[in-house]
Amino acid sequence: EDQVTQSPEALRLQEGESSSLNCSYTVSGLRGLFWYRQDPGKGPEFLFTLYSAGEEKEKERLKATLTKKESFLHITAPKPEDSATYLCAVSDSNYQLIWGAGTKLIIKP
């Protein structure tokens, strides 16, 4: 069964403390992987699309990487405004999205 698992469920960091979020997947016929950011009570905001293993994308303090079985979202020197839930979604061979449950990131000043 196709599945997307995100870890950890929650992560508390001090401002400036770098870390990584993980998205592991078992999907046949991967078309691509998406990262989104969601603030409480708001709609998810698109961050990155990764298409193939070895690909990397960066945006400000965020960097997403992809291997054949997982993706990492690295956050460098985070600030309190980076606090949010980060969602991962994988597109299967039928272009249907399978969503992870998210990682809630809290950055303390």
- List interacting residues with other proteins (CB under 8 A): 31-32, 34, 36, 41-46, 49, 51, 87, 91, 94-97, 99-102
Q: How far is the CB of 91 from other proteins (least distance, A)?
A: 6
* C-beta atoms surrounding 15 within 10 Å: 13
Q: How far is the CB of 18 from other proteins (least distance, A)?
A: 26
Give the nearer residue to other proteins in terms of CB position, either 43 or 109: 43
Give the nearer residue to other proteins in terms of CB position, either 45 or 81: 45
Give the nearer residue to other proteins in terms of CB position, either 47 or 76: 47
Transcribe 2-66 into DSSP letters.
-EEEEE-SEEEEETT--EEEEEEEE-TT--EEEEEEE-TTS--EEEEEE-STT-EEEETTEEEEE
Q: How far is the CB of 7 from other proteins (least distance, A)?
A: 14
- Cis, bond preceding 8 (omega within 30 deg of 0): yes
